[in-house]
Amino acid sequence: MDVLNDIVDTFQLKGALYFRTDFTPPWAIAVPAYQTAARFHLVVQGRFYVTLSSGASVELNAGDMILIPAGAKHTISSTPHEQAAPLENVLEEAGYDGNGVFTLGDGDPTASVQLICGHFTFRAGADHPLLRALPEYLLVSSSVRAKYTWLDEVLRLIVRQIFAEPENSAATVTRLSEVVFIETLRACTDQSPKLALIIGALKGRQIGEALLLMHERLDEQWTLEKLATNIGMSRSRFAEQFREAVGCGPMTYLTDWRIQKAINLLTASQLNVQQIAAKTGYQSPAAFTRAFSQKIGCSPKEYRRLDSATVH
């Protein structure tokens, strides 16, 4: 098991492309906040600016991609100071119904700015030190793409697919964009010290082994001493190094991850509470219900009922 893949699978990561552009300056679009999403903008041709909610402005050129985590609002524009139109208004005026990949602009292939824009969504309540470690934005520049050839190839494939077969590209590009999210985290660790620590921990020999044990054998009755023994460390040193890298103690991480895994099973499977309790390491449904209620604020059954009512 790859721990990073397990994390994004449990959070039900889904990629979606909502438009590509053929823009000639001046132009500006205000992208609203979207709590359970991470937005991205990939520059195919030309140059544009992203102004973040902090007020910081980032210039992007052909080949660059920016990922904006946590659904933060921002503006994309031809210059940093253009008056921006709300994205909802732009899409409504263009007649976009939310299906497929839509082209904003006049469709001129020689337009000075061509972008591919989309987002990644997570299920409600997704929480992990990895997500909390993400900075205001991650920038995949041409130098990053040159170093991480797998990420570069996927981005090139997305561009080719969208511009060659726009009417048939949505499903394929959606799957590819999910790969982009994972690979961007791996490629941009130098842009966030916290992210670097966690990605380093995932790849590290001992802390990485401990994380893998917890993710692969979640139903086991782990203790701090048992985990430390399995990876060949003393109890105290393991706890200290784990906290430094991940941001919380091993047993806190394990408890939180069990709840996250339980939420995923409640929303994406037909398993009953007793089965979910066993799969996530609880010795009884009652113990699972107590832990879940304490963390989430309602029982597992109530959570499933509320989620079902929201979906339907």
pLDDT of residue 108: 61
pLDDT of residue 304: 96
Dmax over CA atoms of the chain, in Å, equals 64
Tokens found for residue 11: 């959070």
pLDDT of residue 70: 84
Domain limits at 56?
3-188
Q: What is the pTM of this model?
A: 0.89
Distance CA 77, CA 51 (A): 8
- The separation between CA 283 and the C-alpha centre of its own chain, rounded to angstroms, equals 32
| 90 and 213 in a common domain | no
| 76 and 118 in a common domain | yes
**Last residue of some domain: 188, 223, 245?**
188
| 262 and 214 in a common domain | yes
**Last residue of some domain: 136, 164, 188?**
188
pLDDT digits (tens, 9 = 90+) for 140-164: 999 999 999 999 999 998 888 887 7
| 100 and 10 in a common domain | yes
Overall number of domains in the chain = 2
| 154 and 44 in a common domain | yes
The torsion angles phi and psi of 78, rounded to 5 degrees, stand at -75, -30
| 164 and 242 in a common domain | no
| 117 and 19 in a common domain | yes
Strands 85-86 and 37-45: unpaired
| 211 and 294 in a common domain | yes
Q: What is the CATH number of the domain that holds 267?
A: 1.10.10.60
Which segments of the chain have a pLDDT < 70? 1, 18, 96-102, 106-111, 166-170, 311-312
pLDDT of residue 20: 81
Q: What is the CATH number of the domain that holds 181?
A: 2.60.120.10
Q: Position 124: which residue type?
A: A
- Report helix angle 193-203 to 235-246, nearest 10: 130
**Last residue of some domain: 144, 162, 188?**
188
pLDDT digits (tens, 9 = 90+) for 283-303: 999 999 999 999 999 999 999
| 158 and 23 in a common domain | yes
Q: Classify residue 135: in a domain, yes or no.
A: yes
What is 71-100 written as a DSSP string? G--EEEESSTTPPPEEHHHHHHHHT--SSS
Q: Classify residue 150: in a domain, yes or no.
A: yes
pLDDT digits (tens, 9 = 90+) for 109-128: 666 899 988 888 898 889 99
| 242 and 168 in a common domain | no
| 175 and 126 in a common domain | yes
- The separation between CA 297 and the C-alpha centre of its own chain, rounded to angstroms, equals 25
Burial label, 120 (beta-carbon count in 10 A; 0-12, 13-18, 19+): buried
pLDDT of residue 186: 92
